A and B are shown apart, each in its own frame.
Chain A
Amino acid sequence: MSKFRKVILTAALLAAAGWASAQSTAYPGVGRPATAKEIAAWDIDVRPDFKGLPAGSGSVAQGQDLWEAKCAHCHGVFGESNEVFSPLIGGTTNDDIKTGNVANLKRADFPGRTTIMKVATVSTLWDYINRAMPWTAPKSLKPDEVYAVTAYLLSLANVVPENFVLTDKNIAEVQKRMPNRNGMTTKHGMWPGKEFNGTGKPDTANVACMKNCVPEANVASMLPDYARNAHGNLADQNRLVGQQHGANTAVPENKSAPVGSAAALAVTKPVAKVADPALALLNKHTCTACHAQNTKVVGPSFNDIAKKYPGKAEYLAGKIKSGGSGVWGAIPMPAQTAPEADIKTIANWLAAGAAK
């Protein structure tokens, strides 16, 4: 610690102890007091002891309505979907609610871990739904709505009954039923400082042996041949010059090829790529929140749309403007208000094959 730092720190400690000056004198004119309204607007975090939790209430039934309108298309009606995000609900039992430890977490063969299996603190759910959900309109839920959605989620895991109304008054009781409430440990060496009473030391202890350290090495795991090109052609992911080139994984490997000849496979001609202006617009107008290039997310993939409507730019522009439902599924696409020229560019790109 520098002498300067010590002086400042001492000053700060004095200030904390009730020293008269409300403002550090070291940097006059920098920063100003925050107003009460500003703090209220931004200080939204909720701690495990519920400090920061606003008063309010919401029922499971209200939560279900909200869920189906605003959450289900990503998370599934029962919070079970893994289409867009990892599942929220599933894998916990009434017995877990009694013990506070999710038994399935001990099973190496249990597929996946849902949010409710992991989370120990109900405050975490409330806080995150409040600050970051729904996906395309974070912070749009009112406190009562956050209570309702949280209640609905908890009811899916039997933490609260179906007729439950969650409030700031009873949330501490709900905490006592969280299935994995006893599932956390801070007995490790990976937090710097003494705040969590950790072990303070690493849990592995390799030694830097230099000679005859292990018996002959055996390959225990490598990728199967058919996965060779699964990440795209690796020749295109390496520099064109250097002491090595990328392997041409677009063709099967020739394991008996002499060294040097194999390398010749990899040489590619550099091509300057020009991105279609539509690609930037897809991001700008957040089309990509619901549509992806190759996979169905909430709406159909761009490739599927292009396949279905080749050359039909005008029809597609109309659909983007008006929105609609029924062609690709039940979830409606809202009408889009992007500028006419942008919609045209996107529609032309789709009609021309949606090339990336």
Chain B
Amino acid sequence: MKTPDGIQSGRVQKAPENFLDRDGISTVIAESKAGRRNFIRSAFAAAAAGAAAPMALAQGNPVPTEGGDPNILNLPEHATGLGQGVAANNGYGVPSKFESNVQRRQSPGLTQTTQASVSFAPLQSLFGIVTPSGLHFERHHQGWWDIDPSKHRFMINGMVKTPKVFTMDEIMRLPSVSRFHFIECGANTAVEWGNVAVPTVQYTHGMVSCSEFTGVPLITLLEIAGADLKNGKFVLAEGGDGSSMTRTIPMSLILSGEVLVAYGQNGEMLRPENGYPLRLIVPGIQGVSWVKYLRRVEVGDKPYAAKDEAVHYMDLMPDGQHRQYTNIQECKSVVTTPSGGQVLLDKGFYNITGLAWSGRGKVAKVDVSVDGGRNWRQARLETPVLSKALTRFNIDWVWDGKPAIIQSRATDETGFVQPTYKHLRAARGTRSIYHNNAIQSWLVQENGEVKNVQVS
């Protein structure tokens, strides 16, 4: 297809190695400090003064001038030929070839290795609340493995009556539960603390995913080992891979039965990238605690100050102190459509849709603004609305073709309201990296293109 300028579309360009260089970052900061403050005002004024753009329908569904739509009149091959047989692709179905754009992706320049890195889930293309397992975000600390489950062992030791070893067969014999939960990296949205840094919701919010996990409550296994639940106030979880990731797990969540030792994800076994054959599920807590390739838990009377709670995953405050053992992912939401990098095809009706979640329980309501936070309307929460799971919201919107700034604001069942950047920066400054749950803004421009912006 040709553009009006005659430029061939569909050209794929390789992402460069670094996304914003030093100069680029200064430009963004300078512009955020000095310029662009009146952008919206002048844009609104221009829209009001100028003639409304004609209703162009390049991608639309025009009434045919004569005859009819060739897609209707000329029967396609799939209506006139023989289709494919069962159990293709070695018996495991794959998405349509037309869906190849929907991929998890690395953010260029974020990390130097692929083994200690991140790939982001394509939130802009997902429906409902379940993240397809192949699109679940990835965070590895030392590369992923595909481990033979018949050789995997799970050990419990420390303050227990009898240290125990379990095989996968044994764990899968125990009474199981299946629960939907979100997992969000503590560093999700981290690059946006100071200013806008990435273009799309995949890169701003794509370190969150939601699955139905199946496994055994950790408390059951601790009880089998005769854990000292009175004096054992802390539990260490440890992975079986090269990094042997460790984290101190909150005992209150273990006692409540929420913490699971899981092997199932969305009806099948965990994917290797997500910890096959065994991982910890710690609902509401940042993803780094959901230890993959789980090999051991230890019951102790003191916290462990593991690398990922004593060097990383700590929140720097303006006074130079680090908040340590920050675990809960507080209430957050984001509009996934329309979102940065997308282009609205026309004026008229749109379904604004997005995701909301809270590490403290259920989402109680989500409000949506299309004027940058001045006025709000309550969105529809789609069922199911589950504790510590993603919740899908939708709201009707008729776009008049004028610039609009779209935001969503979630409130959870504790009454906590998702903060603005102003609230967050007042409480924590701009250097704390982790736990950025600020309200996200998307600017819809007159040409239909949507940009990631922050508002003052």
Interface residues in chain A, defined as those with a beta carbon under 8 Å from any beta carbon in chain B: 1, 5, 8-9, 11-13, 15-17, 22-24, 26-27, 30-34, 38-39, 42-45, 47-49, 51, 83-85, 101-103, 105-106, 108, 113, 115, 118-121, 123-124, 127-128, 131-132, 135, 138-139, 180, 183-196, 202-224, 226-251, 253-273, 288-289, 292, 294-295, 297
Contact = CB atoms under 8 A, between A and B. Distances in A.
A26 B453 CA distance: 56
13 contacts: A23-B162, A31-B165, A45-B246, A45-B304, A131-B244, A188-B315, A204-B426, A219-B37, A222-B452, A237-B124, A260-B345, A266-B343, A270-B97
Interface stretch (B66-74, B76-84, B222-230): B222-230
Nearest to A121: B305
A31 B225 contact: yes
Contacts of A135: 142
A221 B195 contact: yes
A139 to B, nearest CB: 8
A206 B423 contact: yes
Interface string B82-109: 0000000000000001111111010110
Given A231-B200, A238-B125, A192 B252 contact: yes
A206 B155 contact: no
B60 interface: yes
B409 interface: yes
B162 A262 contact: no
Given A192-B253, A259-B448, A223 B28 contact: yes
B146 to A, nearest CB: 11
B36 A219 contact: yes
A49 B234 CA distance: 14
Nearest to A190: B326
Contacts of B226: 12, 15-16, 22-24
A297 B405 contact: no
Given A45-B236, A48-B305, A119-B310, A103 B320 contact: yes
Nearest to B331: A202
Contacts, number: 505
A8 B449 CA distance: 58
Given A217-B40, A222-B451, A240-B98, A264 B374 contact: no
A288 B98 contact: no
B155 A224 contact: no
Interface string B423-449: 110111111000100000101011111
Given A220-B454, A270-B97, A230 B252 contact: no
B381 interface: no
B9 A226 contact: no
A213 B373 contact: yes
B243 A245 contact: no
Nearest to A211: B375
Interface string B229-251: 11101101010001110100011
Interface in B203-225: 203, 219-225
A47 B435 CA distance: 26
B413 interface: no
A36 B349 CA distance: 68
A38 B141 CA distance: 25
A120 B17 contact: no
A22 B367 CA distance: 54
A245 B304 contact: no
A239 to B, nearest CB: 5
B264 interface: no
Contacts of B367: 208, 210
Given A213-B373, A244-B342, A245-B342, 11 more contacts: A22-B162, A45-B304, A83-B112, A105-B321, A132-B141, A184-B310, A188-B326, A194-B252, A195-B251, A219-B39, A251-B3
Contacts of A115: 311
Contacts of A265: 3, 7, 9, 343
Given A30-B166, A218-B38, A269-B10, A204 B427 contact: yes
A356 B58 CA distance: 34
A24 to B, nearest CB: 5
Given A34-B164, A106-B320, A188-B323, A233 B234 contact: no
A45 to B, nearest CB: 6
Contacts of A207: 417
B431 A246 contact: no
Nearest to B54: A258
B380 interface: no
A185 B227 contact: no
Given A216-B372, A263-B58, A221 B9 contact: no
